[in-house]
Amino acid sequence: MSIYVVGTAHTKFGKLDGKSIYDLINEAGKSAFEDSPVEPKDIGGIWLANFNAPVLNSQNHLAPLVIDVSPDLRFKPATSVENACASGMTAIRQAINALNAGEIDVALVVGVEKMTSLDTKGVTYALAQAAHWESEGSKGMTFPGLFAEFAKGYMKKYNISLERLREAFAKVASKNHRNALHNPLAHLPKDISYEQILNLPEEKNPIIADPLRVYDCSLITDGAAAVILTNKKEIAKKYGPLVEIASIKHVSDYLRIDQKKNYTLEGAKIAIQSAFKEANVTLDDLDFAEVHDCFTIAEILIYEAMGLAKDGEGYKVIDEGTVLPEGKLPVNLSGGLKAKGHPVGATGVSMAVLATNQLIGKPIGQGVKNAKIGLTFNLGGSAATNIAAIFKRVN
């Protein structure tokens, strides 16, 4: 059964003072209906993606809050979805399952996170709960620390020098900050070269978890996004250009990083390659990708998972220009998590919104001429959750 996107919404990402988590849910939900031929009364099910509002906002049981978007949503089934940084794409997958089962015809998915309610220490504590608390979080391990372990293991396994890898990190960061200059909804657009990043003084680019520095890390961000999905082609035709989610694959791996023996993202590779197979596409068919660059090392490892490079050679991809806006496969034209921002529960839904708008010729930020196929990849924890999706424009 084909699943079509028939409405999208995306708030500004950033430090949104004066906007509560309730405001963000309402803004995204209302905007999605304004963009859609579907009305609230047509919705068969609601999914709300969020990672940690109980700690960040002292609010649990978020899904029924979506009903405030419209009284016509009252008495619809609403489900909260938590799956760390991959909560958004997990919620979309659950909605698709209900659509494919024929249980409903139209679904609303909202992703949201209000992170700046706490200071950096508080947010770090909240995020650490997506790691293995007993062996990692409670011992002071943070997510920069966990991805620093990936970086250190990667350097050692493939005999890559720190200087060489830091140059690649800086090129990824520079690309994404510059891409964000074209995205009016991005958190931190910035015209900065990789040479400037490398030459920043310690106080402006301090080490967060060696070898990762500030410019290697995604942002503490507020924001929300929403999509409306349907299994009815006649409804989708009213929206405009048909955009189909041709495949969505979910792969889980160990939660503890010390159980992962290989410093590549094995779960990501399986998810992405499985999505390619199910959608009957190859890497060469892609026109763009939005991927989970929570840290610069993650984007480099995702290049390998996509098949852009052999294991241990992902850092070369950025040198070759393949993933630049003018390259063969632009990656994170939005600015990615690095510069667009990473409101955790909203991130996967944001990727779906970005992919859809790219394919209908209304890109949020830089566009790809005549884009027909895009990949999104949403990661949770230290690559414990891996969800890849293929979006296609249907003729």
Residue 326: other Cβ atoms inside 10 A = 6
Query: For residue 294, what is the DSSP state?
Result: S
Catalytic site residue 217?
no
Give the Cα-Cα-Cα angle 194, 199, 201 (nearest 5 degrees).
130
Lookup: tokens for 355: 């992919």
Tokens standing for residue 375: 């990949």
- How far apart are alpha carbons 195 and 167 in whole angstroms? 8
CA 293 to chain centre: 8
Question: In whole angstroms, what is the distance from residue 188 CA to residue 293 CA?
Answer: 14
Cβ pair 28, 224 in contact under 8 A: yes
**Residue type present at position 57:** N
C-alpha span between 281 and 286 (Å, rounded) = 8
Which one from 10, 85, 132, 250 is the annotated catalytic residue? 85
Helix axes 87-100, 344-359, angle to 10 degrees: 60
Residue 48 DSSP SS3: strand
Q: List CB contacts of 134: < 8 A, sequence separation 6 or more.
A: none
Residue 242 DSSP label? E
342 an active-site residue? yes
Cα dihedral: 250, 256, 261, 262 (round 10)? 50
Q: Could you tell me the two tokens for 262?
A: 């290989």
**Which residues are designated catalytic?**
85, 342
